[in-house]
Amino acid sequence: MNRFGEMHCSIAQAVSVVGEPWTPLILRDLFLGVRRFDDLARDLGVSRNLLTQRLERLMAAGVVSRRPYQERPVRYEYHLTEAGLDIVPALMVIMAWGDKWATPPGGPPAVLVHSCGRPFTPVVACPHCGGPVTADTVTATAGPGAAPGPGTWVLAGGLAPG
């Protein structure tokens, strides 16, 4: 997803890093505590060469890091960096959407429990008023980095709204 990385759009930027096929599931497994290459490959059923590529890209982007858990031969375990941990809430919001609109047969495969002790479905809120963030309660306006270009002509005002 190299083309997306050149767009002046934060969604495109994020997608170019964490939106490639398999990547969200790799991040999910890392969050769940899967640490090793073979475990990731086995759990997901992803081909090993692709897993190598994805982990390399995630490390280059600073989302995942690895450290040796043994020498001779060197074996690494992978885990989320600060940036990687920071994307976990987004994964949970996506999971909640999947639970609601594309429920897998048998019901939700996972239930989230908050540190307050209760199972929950995450909500997205405005930090100022605490109100819900929905398509109806939000407007997007051009920011300082808005520039006309592929994927951003709309925001920069170069494409007449329908």
Binding DNA by CB under 7 A: which of 52, 120, 123, 132?
52
| Nearest one of 5, 11, 31 to 95, comparing CA atoms | 31
DSSP state of 5: G
**Residue closer to DNA, measured from CB, 2 or 134:** 2
The verdict on 20 binding DNA (CB under 7 A) reads yes
The verdict on 3 binding DNA (CB under 7 A) reads yes
Query: How many C-beta neighbours within 10 Å does residue 12 have?
Result: 18
- The least distance separating a second copy from the CB of residue 119, rounded to whole angstroms, comes to 8
- Out of a second copy, DNA, none, which partner does residue 83 contact, by CB within 5 to 8 A per kind? a second copy
Rounded Cα gap, residues 10 and 158, in angstroms:
18
Rounded Cα gap, residues 9 and 120, in angstroms:
31
The verdict on 73 binding DNA (CB under 7 A) reads yes
- The least distance separating DNA from the CB of residue 129, rounded to whole angstroms, comes to 38
- The residue type at 9: C
Q: Tokens 């909500």 label which residue?
A: 123
Please list, in sequence order, all residues whose beta carbon lies within 8 angstroms of the beta carbon of residue 121, skipping any fewer than 6 positions away.
96, 99, 112
The verdict on 98 binding DNA (CB under 7 A) reads no
Which residues bind to DNA, rule: CB under 7 A? 2-3, 20-22, 36-39, 45-50, 52-53, 55, 66, 72-73, 75-77
